[in-house]
Structure 1
Amino acid sequence: MESLRTSFAGPQGQAGEDETGYRQAPHNIEAEQALLGAILINNEAYDRVASFLEPGHFYEPLHGRVYESLAKLITQGHLASPVTLKHHFEHDEGMREIGGPQYLARLAGAATTLINTEDYGRTIYDLAIRRELIRIGEELHNRAYDAPVDDPPSAQIMDAEQSLYNLAEKGKYEGGFEAFVSAVKNAVDMAAAAYQRDGGLSGISTGLRDLDSKLGGLQPSDLIVLAGRPSMGKTALATNIAFNAARAYRAEHKPDGSIEVQDGAVVGFFSLEMSSEQLATRLLAEHSGVASEKLRRGRIDQDEWHRFAQAAQELERLPLYIDDTGGLTISTLAARARRLKRQHGLGLLIVDYIQLLAGSKTDNRVQEVTEITTGLKALSKELNVPIIALSQLSRQVESRDDKRPQLSDLRESGSIEQDADVVMFVFREEYYVQRREPREGTPEHLQWQDEMSQVHGLAEVIIGKQRHGPTGTVKMQFQAEITRFGDYVSEDHLPEEMY
């Protein structure tokens, strides 16, 4: 408070050591006074800092209270001046210590310019962030020294990352309204990129022609939910897309050190159900054409081994990163995704699957899933990458004659359907026909064989929702033994057999 008594006499340093030799937290009393004085003179100055500056950002508590009172009056449409604020501080102990409400008039009288209001606000904000960084660092320091046995370093690191992220997100300068011309320019740039790119896609290619034509590729900041019943091929399709995007990755290194991605993507894959080895086996089977069953049992010949080794060499070079930690919370997943983008770049994120993620501890699973899907959508916008989140379907699908899934079949469908930009379902009629095989040698079995021949190796991706494109069904080929999806080729387009 002594600094407030002397601050009008002349300049005062931001922070360093006081007269006793102790280090003071970073602050700038003059900037706080200049900002408050500018707002008292012209209330419109408040609009320049209101989007990011809060009372808690002021070093001097009295200044924080003055700013809070100013904000209340201005937002309610009243005039905020030394006169109208006076009665708010007649009984304020901090104000009384420096001479009473006359201090408000001194603030207004000492204000010299309105031009630098935003600069003053940013200075106050930046110094507040520095003080918060010091606090986080001290807490981390003390916790590491005195951590009990049940508080491992990994938990300390995760909490520190979360604290730093929360600090980074709080009160950002960015955001708010932008001129419409900026949005138009971004849309034109996106269209130009699609025009120049092979296949004419504005987003990341899935590697599947017909699916790309429906989606226009995987769009940045989109949450794409890929749902299906067990054994339909959700994970297989997700791994196929991950492999295709990573294999197509091409980037150009700019002279300023930045990287411009021209095609494909660096892919992050959260596998909450399967281990990284199981996922790698699937990718190797798909790429080599050697059945995963043969790989697990070691029953492969020399030619298959050669193909397998070649596939392994190519996979090792792909920008594909797998995290197979089970039981992740949405906050932990977000922290790890941010770290991956910071360290390696990130263009596509896949989560397998939503129901295995954890939200806040709550007895209401619907609320928990809402928190998870909202968090995934926010993360896709923050990182500006598409997120493919796999989801299970409820059992009510099995009770219908036509087992093609619908939006209402999504578990906790309200939040998933609402937050997703695209909802796709994987459906294989072959799976259901195969399960109702009649006894061999009967007329029914012959009929069943005919039905099986019509659906064998076929799959459908049903687009049930798409914010910026059409819905509909995309037919695909599916090779179950190597879990590979491919573009559908009708019989009349197959090459003629040579005899």
Structure 2
Amino acid sequence: MMAEKAVLGSMMKENYLITDANLSVSHFADPVHKMIFQSMKELRASGKAVDFITLLTTFHPQDIGGANYVRELADYAHLPTFDDHVTVMLDAWRERETRNVLHIAIQENWPIDRIMNGLDALLDNRVCDYASLSALLADVYEDPYIKKEIAEGAKAGIGALDTMTDGFKDGELTIIAARPSMGKSDIMLHIAKHAGWTNRLPLIFSLEMSATSLRDRLLASTGRFSRIRMRDPYTMMNDKQKTDWPRTVGRLAESNMHFFDRSKQTVAEIRMNVRKMINTYPDKKPIIFIDYLTLIHSEDKSSSMHLQVSKITKDLKAMAREFNCPVITLAQLSRAVEQRHDKRPLMSDLRESGSIEEDADVILFLYRDAYYSKNENDLTMELIVSKNRNGPVGTAVAMYNKFTGEVIGNA
């Protein structure tokens, strides 16, 4: 019953969960909880807010457990673990329904195939994973004769890379990895703003850098302002830069980018915030950025780092599929890179590389020779696509200004 209270309390706190959770009254075991959830659904359907006041003034308090009971539900709300509580609820519901099916089967002497069908229907009430080949073929039967709108991936704004990957695809997990100071965060921000300018919803989960730092990086790279000058724009910027400032601010505002910069976020917390933003901006397709992989907090501290990373990458891939959007995650490389004569990254340089190689759809390495040669005139950045599940691998080249963070993708 605790899980049911947590689910109802979270729904009172965030009303969109009432419909987004895809639950029905029958999933609740407690009769009072059934009444509360039904009342919530009716209020939500009528366009009213669902809270302590509306529940008690719209319905008979005794039918929904009384004022104190409804008030106390809010104490059980915990949004980051909402999905876990729903899972507990559904598992309990399946156990009840399984016992019910078996009881009726014994009473009515069901044949074994009917029993199996009844039990199979309980395996997953939320997502249907069945599709017949005939139905799938029917969907594409007329494709050669009728022009259809082709869903494009989110473009990186780097010509050669977009040609190779055809953009970042919905449902795919992309890993962007490099050694420190190679430009990972700047590449991420470059991709994010271009996605925003093409009507995507960029959601950036920054586990290391603050939102204000990301804002300043975006201003520097978009306005071509030196990061040194950004420390004190009033004193250090010239007249032209000050004139360009409002236009840069306005252009960045158009990207509709959103930051979540609390450290030690879990995948469950990230998923909850994504769901909330999707409900806030229903007309925009999200694209999720996470900086960076090994800073994602694991709830299982008893296992090894390898197992923790493996669980996290699988959860990130599942999240990409759940929300049908690209998930782009930054990752660090091991120091083994520094021991080789050719310091271009390899798959084996990924920390805890096994699970990352397995779960990622695209693995992209960044390499700048100027980082090692100290040649200030060399602006070349190599974007090495080492894995591309649905396309070719190879190297794209861009120009990168480390002083502003600007990435020029038409090189």
1:286-323: CA deviations, max 9, x gaps?
Answer: 11111122111321012101212211122223221111
Amino acid at match of 2:211: S
Q: 2:317 aligns with which of 377, 385, 406?
A: 377
Q: What secondary structure sits across from 2:403 in the alignment? A: helix
> What SS does structure 1 have at the residue aligned with 2:231?
helix
Tell whether the 8 Å contact from 2:176 to 2:364 is kept in structure 1 after alignment: yes
Shift of 1:332: 1.1
Tell me if the contact between 1:206 and 1:217 (Cα under 8 Å) persists in the aligned partners: yes
Which residue does 2:394 correspond to in 1? 472
The residue that corresponds to 1:128 in the other structure is 26
Q: Is the 8 A contact 1:194 1:202 kept in 2?
A: no
Aligned to 1:79: none
Residue range with higher mean Cα deviation, 399-408 or 363-372: 363-372
Give the equivalent residue in structure 2 for 1:248.
198
SS in 2 for 1:477: strand
Mark the runs of 5 or more structure 2 residues left unpaired by the alignment: 5-22, 38-63, 92-122
Contact 2:196 2:254 in 1 (8 A): no
Q: Deviations over 1:422-474 (max 9, x none)?
A: 0000111100111xxxxxxxxxxxxxxxxx37x70000000010111011111
TM-score w.r.t. structure 1 length? 0.59
Q: Which residue of 2 aligns with 1:323?
A: 260
3-state SS of 2:408 partner: strand
**Cα separation, 1, equivalents of 2:202 and 2:131:** 31
- Report the equivalent of 1:412: 352
Distance 2:306 2:394 in 1: 28
Q: Which residue of the partner structure matches residue 288 of structure 2?
A: 349
Match of 1:282 among 190, 204, 217: 217
Looking at structure 2, the residues matched to 283 and 188 of structure 1 have their Cα atoms a distance apart, in angstroms, of: 46
Structure-2 residue corresponding to 1:46: none
State the match for 1:234 in structure 2. 184
Give the match's secondary structure for 1:461. strand
Task: Evaluate the alpha carbon distance shift between residue 363 and residue 164 of structure 1 in structure 2; reply closer, same or farther with a 3 A threshold.
Answer: closer
Question: How far apart are residue 128 of structure 1 and its match?
Answer: 2.7
Residues 357/195 of structure 1: CA separation in 2 closer, same or farther (3 Å cut): same
8 A contact 2:313–2:355 mirrored in 1: yes
Question: Any conservation in 2 of the 1:358–1:368 contact (CA below 8 Å)?
Answer: no
Residue 165 of structure 2 is matched in structure 1 by 215
Tell me, yes or no, if structure 1 residue 332 matches structure 2 residue 269.
yes
- Supply the AA of the counterpart residue of 1:376: L
Amino acid at match of 2:386: G
Query: What amino acid is the match of 1:236?
Result: D
Deviations 1:341-378 (A, max 9, x none): 12224421101100100122224111111111000000
Q: What SS is found at the alignment partner of 1:221?
A: coil
Q: Which amino acid in the other structure matches residue 391 of structure 2? A: G
What SS class does the counterpart of residue 78 from structure 2 fall into?
helix
CA shift, 1:146, in A, is 9.6
Deviation track 1:206-242 (CA, whole Å, cap 9, x = no partner) reads: 1111110000111110000000000011111010000
Q: 1:422 aligns with which of 362, 369, 373?
A: 362
* Cα distance change on mapping 1:458 and 1:188 into 2, 3 Å: farther
Q: Tell me, what secondary structure is at the counterpart of 1:266?
A: strand
The verdict on how the C-alpha distance between 1:248 and 1:160 changes in structure 2, with shifts beyond 3 A counting, is: closer
Matched, 1:179 2:132: yes
Residue 267 of structure 1 aligns to a residue in which SS? strand
Within 2, Cα distance between the matches of 1:463 and 1:475?
A: 11
Give deviations 1:106-154, integer Å, cap 9, x for gaps: xxxxxxxxxxxxxxxxxxx944314479289799x8697499xxxxx69
Question: Does residue 460 of structure 1 match 2:382?
Answer: yes
**Alpha-carbon distance between aligned partners in 1 of 2:264 and 2:207, rounded to the nearest angstrom:** 7
> Match of 1:459, SS?
strand
How many residue pairs match? The answer is 324
1:266 counterpart residue number = 201
Distance 1:488 1:401 in 2: 29
Q: What SS class does the counterpart of residue 288 from structure 2 fall into?
A: strand
**Residues 1:304 and 1:205: Cα distance change in structure 2 (over 3 Å):** same
Aligned partner (choices 167, 175, 180) of residue 225 of structure 1:
175
For 2:215 and 2:189, locate their aligned partners in 1 and report how far apart those are by CA, in whole Å: 9
Separation of aligned partners in 2, 1:209 and 1:191: 28
Give the corresponding residue for 1:292: 227
Return the alpha-carbon distance in structure 1 between the equivalents of residues 381 and 244 of structure 2.
26
Q: Which amino acid aligns with 2:165?
A: L
Q: In 1, are the aligned partners of 2:79 and 2:272 still within 8 Å (CA)?
A: no
1:155, distance to aligned residue in structure 2 (A): 6.8
Return closer, same or farther for 1:294/1:193 CA change in 2, 3 Å cut-off.
farther
C-alpha change, 1:215 and 1:304, in structure 2 (3 Å) is same
Structure 1 residues 140-159: aligned runs within 5 Å: 145=72, 156-159=78-81
Q: Is the 8 A contact 1:207 1:244 kept in 2?
A: yes
Amino acid at match of 1:462: I
Correspondence for 1:311: 248
Give the TM-score, by structure 2 length.
0.71
Distance of aligned partners of 1:167 and 1:339 in 2 relative to their CA distance in 1, 3 Å threshold = farther
Whether the 8 Å contact between 1:193 and 1:202 is mirrored in structure 2 is no
CA change 1:158–1:191 in 2 (3 A) is farther
- Structure-1 separation of matches of 2:83 and 2:25: 20
